[in-house]
Structure 1
Amino acid sequence: SALPEKSFQPSRTSCRVSPDEHTAWLTSVSGSGSGWVSLFPAIFNLANNAEISSNATCGDPEPEVYCKLVEHVPGRRIKNPHCPRCDANSRHPIINAIDGTNQWWQSPSIKNGRQFHWITITLDLNQIFQVAYIIIKAANSPRPGNWILERSLDGVTFDPWQYYAISDSECLHRYNITPRFGPPTYRSDTEVICTSYYSRLNPLEHGEIHTSLINGRPGADDLTPDLLNFTSARFIRVRLQRIRTLNADLMTLSVHDPRDVDPIVTRRYYYSIKDISVGGMCICYGHAQSCPLDPVTKKLKCVCEHNTCGENCNECCPGYHQLPWQPGTLSEGNTCEKCNCHNKASDCFYNQTISDLGLSLNRHGVRRGGGVCIDCQQNTIGTNCESCRDGYYRPAEVLVVLRPGRGCLPCSCIQSGSVSESCDQDGRCHCTEGVAGDKCDRCSRGYYGCKVNSNTHTHTHTPVTGDSASRCHLLSGQCPCRDGFSGRSCDRCAPGYYGYPACSACDCDLESRQVNATAEGVLGTGPGSDWVLIGSDWFFSDSD
């Protein structure tokens, strides 16, 4: 059936029962008056906001009369011989166990059958919490004899937290666990024990059962991952398996069906619980000191600190992965550390190999941690965005840490004239042979014909030779020739000269109208319009 809607009121005083040992632990983990740097929300009674159900309740489906055992113990004076009636008008539903009133839940008595030894009560906390302790108060009957306290994260698979038995021998015979004598103690953070300490017959009513899940365990002072996992639960189940009876009735009830036994005996044996308190807190892994109700999800949500994020502060926030996420403890806050991306990236991730090799620089300039920056901006790359991408450079006088918008500058190398897109810290590109210039945009000395195509950025360059090649015109390739020489590379004799490479002046007899000279390789006509080249000799042509 639907339970009445209740508002979350997490507070340290909302637990109706808080023994001194649990109050002390509550104060310690909350850090009240301490120098601890970890953060823990306040402990409150998780049962106040839980949904609770049981598979049996007195008066359902039929009314019945029950009697209080305390009024029917031989040798004791009867205070109130009246046996009340449990019916539709006077029922004791399971909600009474967590509503904070003086009402109680009560099971059918074994007068209705032996099956009512086995009853299950389940609490749904509606989300996963860390449970510190559970306190159960009996009402008008003794505390249960044999039973199991269980936990679950999903409501399907349950694991035991603790076993309870009428006697130490029952621990061995029924649960196959060596009993823990005296008040419960624990040797490990996840040990599940069996105890008869809380199953004694006295008191016959209003007895209490205190189950501490953290206190007394090795990891209580500095919560370990094992202890945190062991105490995490959304569902809590109480599996009642045997009602505590008087020893005088034990044999009779063991041999005979309770329905065949005098009802005066059987109607006084039943379970009753007037309060279940579950002390716990939100699981924030030591990174939050409060968890208010989220009005959208209707669940408690951690207010994360220490640069942590996630529903339970279970991960580092974006950009804070210089060190791996760790839960906060009572002695260590384990704050997530921001990556050193030199203001060039907003996120990063942790890499253990990078940390082991010391390749990541933290914000203090120390190679500690494994933060690797993601999606470096302003044309930077590297573990810490400390280098420029190919094709970009950072001037030597400019620091790695630049103002937004002042990242690496483009090299702007002409592709066909450079070896690669990279350049040095002064922006000078690495040019191919015959090409020069900071951007590889002109010919080197001794080369000519460099042309830049705006679409393809292609270059054509041709070497020139000769003793004046290093001083040739960069575009035309024309070398400055000495007298008697001509050609782009000064590799021919000029008209009127012969005998390359000496190129001596011709000694011509103009009257004989013949030039006895050789002008090998000379281009064009002779010195005047009347000179013609025939073979390798110049002749004077009479225009008449």
Structure 2
Amino acid sequence: MASCRVLMLVLFAMPPVPALGLQDEYNRCVEQERHERDGRSLGVPRACRPAVLELVRYARFRLDPPNVTCGNPSNKFCRLENEYMCGECDSSTPELSHPPSLMFDADRYTTFWQSVTWQNNLRPFIINITLSWGKSVELTDDIVITFESHRPSTMILQRSMDHGHTWHAYQLYAKDCLKTFGMRSASILNLSANSSLKVICTEVYSSKFPSKEAQVVRFEVYKRLKLHSGPSQQDPATLYNSLESNRVLRNFFTLTDLRICLLEPAIWGDFVDQRNLNKYYYAISDVQIRGRCQCNLHANECEVGEDGILGCVCQHNTTGRDCKQCRTGVWSRGSYLPYPRGTANGCTAPKYGECICNGHSSRCSYIDQLNLLVCVSCQDHTRGHRCQECQQGYYRNVSAPINASNACIDCACDLFGAVHDHCDDSGQCQCKEGTTGLKCNQCEPGFHWHRGCQLDVCDDGFLQCQNGGDCQGGRCICLPEFSGLRCERRGCHGSDGALCHSEAARSRLAPKRVVAAAFGATFALWTWDFGRRSR
């Protein structure tokens, strides 16, 4: 099965959004404080953020494959629990049409999107639904997906923080987690503050014999946040302190895109009924996602721009859709805590010199202990107080100026042939014994390549293979009844340095597992062997 793929764009019409403020401890971006000597009122920057929104109203959605909505041409579908109760989907008739926009309309329970059925020869039956905001948003409450059909047997909820370039799992859903994803089933009740960001597989929302009354699938955001609210899970101050000190915690609930990967529809029992594939399909009536614009504590308003995408109304001399850049001046680190303790990460006038980062950063910070102005968050694999050096594992591209995006080049040292992953200024990696080449991916004479360069055990002259073995590339290829480095032992044992001619028995496994990367770890995605599971 292919991983969740890049999806075709279908725009969702968004209503105008008023500039909204938040009436709590974060609602003011500037706090007026009276000067002690002359009584003048001074504006002091404070950490602030916008109000909570129904984020689906401001998203653009896309489907993959793009032609998976039912009704074009019209098609028949039946109930899973009763194959004789059937209906028709027809996009040319409003009453029988179920377009994707009905997942996000105001009528949450009587209108719905519906896919084609498994009768349409989708093998496997995978559909991806992606919501994109064009900027960073942060979740404040549970993600709730309401199905008009039975809840799927298998699905994954994923997030992206870089507009869909990379994806990380939020949660896995299956009726048998161990069999499907190689993970034990768990629930939010199994988590603690130390494990609140763990990606789990849950069987709570999937069943071998699904019920039509059970239609809701959740990703529990609120309960995860409560785990950081003190022993009683009721203390906001403790949560603020956790968010202040734990950047990973803040980032876990921040995303630019959300993807719903529908991997298998509800199936009654263990087998797919090939005689009536019209009863297998997906249908979603509502998606609820509550959160706010991520403005890096520099805005208490968020509004739709001329391009139809949400953007922060930035203060504190910041700019950008997420208020991540300084208009002018130097970036000063503040606090996530609310007023009066918290202060925003502000942009102030350069008191200690000009912020020069060679085009790889727009922010600087002054370090009192060193009396030094340093660049913050150097990009393009650069480092140094002016982003003038390359990170470990990269070397300076002498053909490009220091302010170019390709000023630093990946050393690309071979994993098996090099001592480590960094190189000298010419790009030469440090090679292991017997290995040579710029990237340490070639062997010196007398060595052969096998996960690095290994000393030859045979040649065409003095070092010959025994018992009829054949020397190929410095290794002995033994006859089936012999093994060992030079085929000196009777019996095939698969010793290092020698190859046996016996073929490993292969069995046809179903289901198959496909490994995919997510959140820095690996997990298995499901691919159904349709013929093996059919009856």
Query: TM-score normalised to the size of structure 2?
Result: 0.51
| Residues 1:303 and 2:313 aligned together | yes
- Cα distance in 1 for residues equivalent to 2:50 and 2:126: 37
| Residues 1:196 and 2:203 aligned together | yes
- Aligned residue identity for 1:199: S
Distance change >3 Å, CA 284–CA 202, structure 1 → 2: same
- Cα distance in 2 for residues equivalent to 1:245 and 1:12: 44
1:274 to 263, 285, 308: 285
Distance change >3 Å, CA 206–CA 178, structure 1 → 2: closer
**Segments ≥4 residues shifted beyond 6 Å:** 10-13, 26-29, 345-349
The structure with the greater share of residues assigned to strand is 2
- Cα distance in 2 for residues equivalent to 1:351 and 1:2: 42
Query: What SS class does the counterpart of residue 170 from structure 2 fall into?
Result: strand
Residue in 2 aligned with 1:84? 87
Distance change >3 Å, CA 183–CA 272, structure 1 → 2: farther
Query: What SS class does the counterpart of residue 301 from structure 1 fall into?
Result: strand
Distance change >3 Å, CA 340–CA 163, structure 1 → 2: closer
Q: Deviations over 1:264-284 (max 9, x none)?
A: xx4333211001122221111
| Residues 1:148 and 2:151 aligned together | no
- Cα distance in 2 for residues equivalent to 1:347 and 1:113: 59
Q: Deviations over 1:35-59 (max 9, x none)?
A: 9963221121222122223225353
- Aligned residue identity for 2:259: R
Residue in 1 aligned with 2:47? 38
CA contact (8 A) 2:77 2:117 kept: yes
Residue in 2 aligned with 1:356? 369
1:126 to 117, 122, 134: 134
| Residues 1:216 and 2:224 aligned together | yes
The percent of aligned pairs where both chains have the same amino acid is: 24
- Cα distance in 2 for residues equivalent to 1:245 and 1:148: 17
1:178-189 aligned at under 5 Å gives the runs 178-181=184-187, 185=191, 187-188=194-195
- Cα distance in 2 for residues equivalent to 1:314 and 1:289: 15
- Aligned residue identity for 1:280: G
- Quote the offset at 1:227 in angstroms: 2.8
- Cα distance in 1 for residues equivalent to 2:212 and 2:250: 36
- Quote the offset at 1:350 in angstroms: 4.8
- Aligned residue identity for 1:277: Q
CA contact (8 A) 2:150 2:214 kept: yes
Distance change >3 Å, CA 45–CA 182, structure 1 → 2: closer
Query: What SS class does the counterpart of residue 68 from structure 2 fall into?
Result: coil
Kindly tell me the number of residue pairs found equivalent between the two proteins: 319
Q: Deviations over 1:446-476 (max 9, x none)?
A: xxxxxxxxxxxxxxxxxxxxxxxxxxxxxxx
Residue in 1 aligned with 2:75? 64
CA contact (8 A) 1:39 1:287 kept: yes
- Quote the offset at 1:10 in angstroms: 6.2
Which ranges in structure 1 are unaligned for 5 or more consecutive residues? 14-25, 74-80, 361-369, 373-544
Query: What SS class does the counterpart of residue 216 from structure 1 fall into?
Result: helix
CA contact (8 A) 2:145 2:218 kept: yes
Residue in 1 aligned with 2:502? none
- Cα distance in 1 for residues equivalent to 2:211 and 2:18: 32
- Aligned residue identity for 2:90: D
Q: Deviations over 1:367-394 (max 9, x none)?
A: xxx699xxxxxxxxxxxxxxxxxxxxxx
| Residues 1:246 and 2:268 aligned together | yes
- Cα distance in 2 for residues equivalent to 1:289 and 1:147: 36
Residue in 1 aligned with 2:106? 100
Distance change >3 Å, CA 268–CA 351, structure 1 → 2: closer
CA contact (8 A) 1:320 1:347 kept: yes
Distance change >3 Å, CA 275–CA 183, structure 1 → 2: farther
Query: TM-score normalised to the size of structure 1?
Result: 0.50
CA contact (8 A) 1:301 1:312 kept: yes
2:255 to 233, 236, 242: 233
- Aligned residue identity for 2:369: D
CA contact (8 A) 2:318 2:347 kept: no
- Cα distance in 2 for residues equivalent to 1:184 and 1:99: 35
- Cα distance in 1 for residues equivalent to 2:135 and 2:154: 28
- Cα distance in 2 for residues equivalent to 1:82 and 1:178: 36
Distance change >3 Å, CA 219–CA 290, structure 1 → 2: farther
- Aligned residue identity for 2:167: F
- Cα distance in 2 for residues equivalent to 1:4 and 1:240: 20
Query: What SS class does the counterpart of residue 237 from structure 1 fall into?
Result: strand
Q: Deviations over 1:400-430 (max 9, x none)?
A: xxxxxxxxxxxxxxxxxxxxxxxxxxxxxxx
- Cα distance in 1 for residues equivalent to 2:52 and 2:90: 38
- Cα distance in 1 for residues equivalent to 2:257 and 2:61: 10
1:329-368 aligned at under 5 Å gives the runs 329-330=337-338, 332-334=342-344, 336=346, 338=348, 350=364, 352-353=366-367, 355-357=368-370
- Cα distance in 2 for residues equivalent to 1:149 and 1:227: 18
- Quote the offset at 1:192 in angstroms: 1.4
1:446-485 aligned at under 5 Å gives the runs none
CA contact (8 A) 1:315 1:325 kept: no
Residue in 1 aligned with 2:360? none
Q: Decide which moves more: 310-319 or 39-48.
A: 310-319
Which ranges in structure 2 are unaligned for 5 or more consecutive residues? 1-8, 32-44, 230-238, 357-362, 376-535
CA contact (8 A) 2:174 2:206 kept: yes
- Quote the offset at 1:148 in angstroms: 0.6
- Quote the offset at 1:172 in angstroms: 2.3
- Quote the offset at 1:111 in angstroms: 3.8
- Cα distance in 2 for residues equivalent to 1:184 and 1:96: 35
CA contact (8 A) 2:186 2:201 kept: yes
1:164 to 165, 168, 173: 173
1:53 to 34, 56, 62: 62
CA contact (8 A) 2:128 2:260 kept: yes
- Quote the offset at 1:205 in angstroms: 4.2
- Quote the offset at 1:337 in angstroms: 7.6
Distance change >3 Å, CA 112–CA 205, structure 1 → 2: farther
